[in-house]
Amino acid sequence: MYQPRFTINNSILTNISQVEAARAIINAAPLVPAYEKQFRAEAIAKVVHYATKLEGNDLSFEQVAKVIEGKELSGFDRDVQEVLNYRRVIKYLDELLALHQEKLPLPGEKVSPDEKMQAGDVSFSYSELMLKRIYQLVVEKIIPETQGQDYRRAQVVLENTRTGQVVFRPPPFMEVPYLIKSFLSWLNSEKIKELHPVIQAGITHYILVAIHPFIEGNGRTARAFSSLVLMVESYDIRGLFALEEYFDRNASDYYHSLQSVSSQPAPLAEQDLTSWLEFFTQALALELQKIKGKVERLSSDLRLKQKLGGKQLPLTERQIKLIEYMRQFGGLRIADARELFPMISQDTVWRDLKKLIEEKIVLKKGSTKGAYYTLV
């Protein structure tokens, strides 16, 4: 069974403490951004856009949003297919989590949910079937079907496109099945419960990239499987922010951190993952800090939680921007809102404001045409 090697240093401890602090504030705040599981279009588009952009997809964020909405784009056949595929990956991850929460059988699970419950085991069982299904969804209609079903059967190398230098040589293809089984045994073991979920996810991300089990789509598959670990452990980061966005905006550091481990002369099982885990935990800490700041701004009025009866109110990205505008300028008119969202119809803006009025967060003053909206 695989046993990761790393050191929990001060940098990693600091990052994890920031993750926990931000997560606690987000969970306790009366106003929160709408979670991705509620299928908010803008949240899904952000995750899909940056996940595919990292692999060279040329579609803009606006184009990705249109594809997800079912609109057609001409001249971007492969790029469009990659977007559609990753949208299906996200849906599949949600389905897996729903099965687990409803105590239904998971793909590849050898023990029935009833037997697990009788044994007092509520853990999630990660399987090769899940990993292969994610890969199949990632590469569907992009590579020949015969290559998109199983692990690679050829040796591959990754080269620097400018210099031609080999920058990464994954394990021989004959070792892939064994390495995956060894890794999943560790991921499903009791010992892993001693590790913080963020560390679990970071190790998962690196190992799947390093094993490079498939002929194509390894980066997207690894990031998706790593996200699944965070979801299962209630560290879901696929809401109005995306870890993929941080990776894309810091692409050089992202790939350098992966390479700093993969370039070690030691075999995969003996590589020291510390430097990569520093980067991974920092990425999550910074992304959660961003959303924490947004939540704190929205929830600065401590009476809000009482007004909402102690419950949380999920908000879309547009509703958040409307509230932030009113907080900054004292209020707004429909014309101001249209300037904030030039691509959005007036009816859509009005529906957002109506929702905030119904929840007693926003107050409407004056007639419809000249109405002025302020925070209560």
CA R_g for the chain: 23
**Alpha carbons 113 and 342: distance in angstroms, whole number:** 50
Is residue 192 within 8 A of residue 202, CB to CB? The reply is no
**Alpha carbons 375 and 353: distance in angstroms, whole number:** 11
164-218 pLDDT per residue, tens: 666 678 999 999 999 999 999 999 999 898 999 999 999 999 999 999 999 999 9
pLDDT at 309: 59
Amino acid at 12: I
Report residues of the chain scoring pLDDT below 50. 34-39, 238, 302
pLDDT at 154: 87
pLDDT at 280: 97
CA atoms within 13 A on the CB side of 367: 2
Is residue 247 within 8 A of residue 227, CB to CB? The reply is no
pLDDT at 302: 43
DSSP state of 5: B
Helix (H) or strand (E) holding 52, with range, is helix 41-53
Record the pTM. 0.78
Q: How far is CA 349 from the centre of its chain?
A: 27
DSSP state of 332: B
C-alpha separations of 221 from 89, 93, 96, 205 in Å: 9, 11, 15, 9
C-alpha separations of 170 from 155, 221, 374 in Å: 8, 16, 58
Alpha helices in 233-310 (DSSP H): 243-249, 251-262, 274-298, 304-307
Terminal-to-terminal C-alpha distance of the chain: 58
The token duo for 27 is 């969970």
Helix (H) or strand (E) holding 373, with range, is strand 372-375
* Domains of the chain by start residue, with CATH: 10-296 (1.10.3290.10), 316-375 (1.10.10.10)
pLDDT at 315: 74
Is residue 195 within 8 A of residue 202, CB to CB? The reply is no
C-alpha separations of 83 from 16, 44, 87, 343 in Å: 31, 11, 6, 21
Alpha helices in 142-192 (DSSP H): 176-187
Long-range contacts, 228-231 (Cβ 8 Å, 24+):
228/93, 228/96, 228/97, 228/126, 228/130, 229/126, 229/187, 229/197, 229/200, 229/201, 229/204, 230/197, 230/198, 230/201, 231/93, 231/97
Partnered with residue 372 across adjacent β-strands are 365
